[in-house]
Structure 1
Amino acid sequence: MESSWTSEELTLILKSGHLRKFPKNQIIFYAGAVCNEIYYIDKGWVNIYSMTDEGKRVSVGLRSKGEFVGISEIFCRSSWQCFGQVLAEVDVYAIELKNLYVILDKHPSILRKFLTLTAHRLQEANTTMLNYVCKQAPGRLALTLLNLAEKSSNKKNDKVKVSIKLTQEELAAIISTTRQSAGRIMNSFKKLGCIEMKGRQIEAIYPDKLRAKSLGEI
């Protein structure tokens, strides 16, 4: 969806913002905090997650280079609905609400693209929550890895090199399970030929194999 932006549109939007850098593991925004700007990720990865009443993390989405964050909050003029944690050092452009509105007033085509993106994100969030309720941890991990593969630019035939190195603890937090369970599932995926690992980290993903296996909840 983000790829539909033209270079002229992105330049127009980003020049109204300012660049910020965040180290790994830093929380960029907190649920309940005031949201008065959107972020455009120019480098790195951010995990967008919510917390259940029991204190468990539920990953809403993984955002990477070329994606906007905070769109629905800006249009609803609400506080942040989720948390945003850096998975790999990020550079983001922060665009304040007042500056964004000036652009949207002058360029209806950009407004339409933001509205389309907002609808897409809503569908994605609904699907994520449904998967959390209906799928077991192996299925949730399979979908997370397929998402990583889809966002990667390092693809060769049926193999996708993973551009972000996630630990078992980080993957466990993303799919809301224990580190031990995440480790067992990853080893199972490795034996099935769905992924390649180096030590405890995933090096490559085979999307076709992983997708086929995930249909049966592996």
Structure 2
Amino acid sequence: MELFEGLPASTLATVAAAARLRRLPKDQRIFSQGDEGVRAHAVVEGAVRIGQSGSDGAQVIIRFIGPGEMFGTVALFTDRRYPADAITLSETLEASWSEAELLDLMTIYPPVAINVIRIISKRLQEVQERVREIATQSAERRVAHAVLRLARQAGHSTIDGTAIDFLLRRKDVADIAGTTLHTASRILTAWEKAGFLVSHSQRLTIRRPAQLMAIAEDGGD
């Protein structure tokens, strides 16, 4: 788990003992945007979708959380309200720590504090990259970047290529890429016809990553 990287094995049992563990069914809401009573969360098994709603009620997908990754933690260091909704994508084993428990861990085990800073900084860098892509790149390049990021985050090798573990609706890809559902669907359909990837039961498998990389880097020209 990224939060506890660098800790000696002898301390991991103590750290784990401080966690609250819950096994949750698919489509279970873990917290809602604006909720108080914030905790630091992490996925042990399964996956979680993070979505944020605007003033008009429309929701966009911000991020997917896979095994070993944290979520909801930033709220502990801001206004102590969750900035988004968190909903399980599949049956999920979730660990969480209260603010006091996390601060105690950070005080007793300095690597935990360093890891928290590293995690938040990495997420901020990713957000900055996505904003730059939206401002400067075509929709096709943004969709390619989004699919490749998901493959790096939750991809595993199969005989057909790199399969992304998350269940992905085309709207999810559109949200992450900052484009419309129509545009994302058109692009993904064209890539399927070209043999770059295959989609089955909301699961994407990348068959020709080099072609997607070329599109992400220079539009495939």
TM-score, with length taken from structure 2: 0.80
Where structure 2 has 5 or more consecutive residues not aligned to the other structure, the ranges are none
In structure 2, C-alpha distance between the alignment counterparts of 1:12 and 1:2, rounded to whole Å = 16
The count of aligned residue pairs is 218
Cα distance change on mapping 1:4 and 1:92 into 2, 3 Å: closer
Cα distance change on mapping 1:201 and 1:114 into 2, 3 Å: closer
Cα distance change on mapping 1:66 and 1:11 into 2, 3 Å: farther
Q: 2:153 aligns with which of 132, 151, 154?
A: 151
**Would you say 1:89 and 2:91 are equivalent positions?**
yes
- TM-superposed CA distance for 1:44, in Å, is 1.5
Q: For residues 53-92 of structure 1, what are the structure 2 equivalents within 5 Å?
A: 53-76=55-78, 78-92=80-94
- TM-superposed CA distance for 1:170, in Å, is 4.4
Moved more, 17-26 or 49-58: 49-58
Where structure 1 has 5 or more consecutive residues not aligned to the other structure, the ranges are none
Report the residue type matching 1:2 in the other structure: E
Offset from partner CA, 1:113-164 (integer Å, 9 cap, x none): 2112222222222323443454454333322211221023522699312223
In structure 1, C-alpha distance between the alignment counterparts of 2:67 and 2:185, rounded to whole Å = 27
In structure 2, C-alpha distance between the alignment counterparts of 1:151 and 1:60, rounded to whole Å = 14
Report the residue type matching 2:94 in the other structure: V
Q: Which residue of 1 aligns with 2:28?
A: 26
Superposition RMSD in Å: 3.0
Q: Give the secondary-structure state (helix, strand or coil) at the position aligned to 1:88.
A: coil
Q: Which residue of 2 aligns with 1:198?
A: 200
Q: Percent identity?
A: 22
- TM-superposed CA distance for 1:32, in Å, is 1.2
Q: For residues 3-42 of structure 1, what are the structure 2 equivalents within 5 Å?
A: 5-6=5-6, 8=9, 11-42=13-44
Q: 2:49 aligns with which of 33, 47, 58?
A: 47
Q: Give the secondary-structure state (helix, strand or coil) at the position aligned to 2:80.
A: coil
Cα distance change on mapping 1:27 and 1:143 into 2, 3 Å: farther
TM-score, with length taken from structure 1: 0.81
Cα distance change on mapping 1:38 and 1:211 into 2, 3 Å: same
